[in-house]
Structure formats: C-alpha cells, structure tokens
Structure 1
C-alpha cells in the first residue's frame, strides 16, 4: 500500500475546537445511538470474557460511548488525541481518566479486560504499517484472553467514490449545517472536505474541515490483529455506526 505524508494527515485529522463544539449535536441529530453501540460492544466482550470488569476506549472522542461503558464496567478509561475532544469527555465522565495519546503509540501503563476503538478511527492510519502499529498498541493493553473490538472504516469494495453528504440539525440554542464530499485522491487514499455553518447567540460563522482516510481491505485488518497476537473474526453487522461491522479479537 502506498504511503503518504503521515504527519500532515495526522494534523489534518485532529478535530479543531470549532468542530468539537458542534460534533455531538450533529451526530445525535443524525441518529447515532451511542448507548446502543456501547451495549453491543459490551455484549460482545462478555460473550468472550464473561468476567470483564475494565475497558479502555481508544480515540474516545467527546466521551459519549464512555457514558454508557461507565455503567457497564467497574473501571473505564479513554484515550484521545484532540485536546478539545479530551476536555469534552472529561466534562461528561468526571473521575474517568482520559489520556492524551495517539492511537499508534499510546501507553497507559496498564492492561484492561477489553479495549475498543469505534467510529472508524483506524481509517485515519496512512498505511498498513500504521494500522498494524495501532492494533498492536491496543492489543498490548490486553492480558491473555482480553478482547479487542475495532470498528473499521469503509472497505474499498463498499466505498462510494465522490459521495456527497449533508446535514442540517437544530438544537435548543444552535443550528448547524454541514455539506461534504468524499473522493479518492490516489490509490487507497480518500480526502473528505466539509464546510460547516453554525448559527447561535454569538452570530453566524463558517469553517472548513479536511480529513484524510485510507481504504483498507478486510484482509489487512485481519493481518494486523494476527500480528498483534489476536485470534480475530469479522462481524458484518448494522448495529454499529454506518453498518461497517466490527473486527473482534481475543489475545492469545
């Protein structure tokens, strides 16, 4: 798989304060059910490790999944690269450790019965080496028998090149509109451009967002899990996110 400017892609994919401020409103407006997704993940974990008591949510965003995980596990923690996302998560789940960390190289200094990374965050990895680094870091935080659950981004066969998207959401004191387009640039690389308009008591403002993703094949995800010492299966289910399914691994 071709490589690209990894540092440039990393900077592009760190959520700005402007996006973080309206992130929850947009995705809740789109019908994203964080509580249900967390319950699905918990069920998958306990089916493989019945006594699971601790969970780490990697790239936890604003902490919406952690709100439910906190009710289902004795101990939960999160890892998040974006400072504004971390701040939002800490405000929602007081007392829960939200670590500053990059999915490819974080280290919390302990292990957990389960580790998860949802919402296709691994799609931000720029090549298979980075994908393997991310999966390896997550698996390194598991004991033998621990469970790793990763939601992939789109597979090449399922990606719609040139897809146009739009959202319009009204909150109690804010209205947000977002339009965007996703298109392949070279090989397996996808550039997503979005334009946001936000109206609230402070006025009307506009800003742009660019994200860079990689279309990994299912076999590349599977290989990353196996290299990290995990048996793995893919569950093709619409219960999570946009129906991209889940990779579920158990460390041996």
Structure 2
C-alpha cells in the first residue's frame, strides 16, 4: 500500500506528537498493566510510537513491508516483522498489546475485527493489558458536504502534495489519496486507496466481550478519539 510513499509518511504526519502520545500510553500501562515489560504493537506503521518504548522488550508488526522497513530504522531496539492483525501467530505472550493511530479500522469488517481481538486475547499474558485507539464511528465519519483534505510537505529536494475527498461505502470509509510528487527530474502522480471499517462503540464492546476480554472505553484518557482498555475477562 505504501510502497511508493512510505518515505514521505512521517513528513506528511509531522503534525502528530508521537512523543506525547507514547508518554500517555506508558502512563496507561503503569495504571492498568501487570508490571511486565513484554510489549507488542500491531499495525505499527513507521514506528513513530515504538521508538519511545525503550524500557520494554518491544516487538511490532505491520502488514506493509515498506512500513516495516521504516519502523526498523526508527526503532532499532525493537524486533519488527510483517504481519496481519487478524492472523499473526507468535509462540509467546505479551504483557502489553497496542494498536494505535486508529489502525484498527484497517481490519475493515466486523468479522476481521473479531478475529483480531481473538488473536490479541491469545497472545495476552495473565494480567496483561490491551490498548486500542479506535477509528471514527459510523456517526462521526461525515462525507456530506464533501470536503477536500490537503497536506503539503517538503522533504529534501522533494515536494509532496497529498489530497483526498472522504467517501463512504456502507460501514466502510474510503480514503483515496492522490499524490503529486515533484523532484528536479519531474512530477510523478500516485494513488492509494485506504478502506477502514466504521465500528460503533456497541460493536467494539461486543467484539471485546466475544473475545473473552473485559473492556471499557475511555474517551478522555488518550487522544481525541479515546482509547479502549481491555484485560482478560
């Protein structure tokens, strides 16, 4: 998905304060965790949060090999590999499992959401903690009236402009990114389509419960979209 744009990802998302968010995550871990140091981050992206978890025995994965490569550079202390939220399989358990930056939306469907939370439960150590930052709900994702979203960045001698107009298909948000990538050698065009599932709080709660997890939603304990805090049921 990010094979042509991974190198621009952090610059495009330079507005994101990973350092503060990682601090808040570690605060939640201290408040709700079991004191263990084995940490797994799913859908880690470029490792923006991961690089700050230096006090943990951290592992992470992402579905996109280009993002995994970036995460390995940004967080050399962690073991990072290619994996899918719904079916990754490791012969170990973790004290903390994270899914941040609304990446849970990329599972797209309720079936894959359930498979993901079932998988998290299998990999969670006794007394362990799961933190999931949700994507937008069906009520929050608004496409009418249409709005154009634009990000422009300069990276070395490369100018990047990314634009999109959010679309919706049932309970899925469709984000079609259009890139203009300018260098002294010329201007290239690239497109990406991102499909994220829109899950209601009730659907999230039900999926946690079906997975055998006890979960609560904290709207103010993390960033604007809140965070789900879960343990073994």
> Normalised by the shorter chain, which TM-score bucket?
over 0.9
Give the C-alpha shift of residue 38 in structure 1.
1.2
Give the C-alpha shift of residue 219 in structure 1.
0.9
Q: Equivalent residue for 1:12? A: none
Structure 1 unaligned spans of 5+: 1-14
Correspondence 1:85-164 to 2 at 5 A = 85-161=67-143, 162-164=146-148
Give the C-alpha shift of residue 139 in structure 1.
2.1
Q: 2:27 aligns with which of 28, 36, 43?
A: 43
Distance 1:219 1:109 in 2: 32
State the SS of the aligned residue for 1:192: strand
Could you give the per-residue CA deviations for residues 169-188 of structure 1, whole angstroms, max 9, x where no partner exists?
22343321111011112x21
Contact (CA 8 Å) 1:163, 1:183: kept in 2 or not?
no
The answer to whether the aligner puts 1:175 opposite 2:156 as a matched pair is: no
In the superposition, the TM-score normalised over structure 1's length comes to 0.86
State the SS of the aligned residue for 2:127: coil
Q: Which has the higher strand share?
A: 2
Distance 1:192 1:206 in 2: 16
In the superposition, the TM-score normalised over structure 2's length comes to 0.93
The answer to whether the aligner puts 1:248 opposite 2:232 as a matched pair is: no
Contact (CA 8 Å) 2:102, 2:133: kept in 1 or not?
yes
Report the RMSD for the aligned CA atoms in angstroms: 1.7
Structure 2 unaligned spans of 5+: none
Distance 1:33 1:173 in 2: 24
Q: How many residues align?
A: 231
Give runs of ≥4 in structure 1 deviating > 4 Å.
Answer: none
Q: Which has the higher helix share?
A: 1
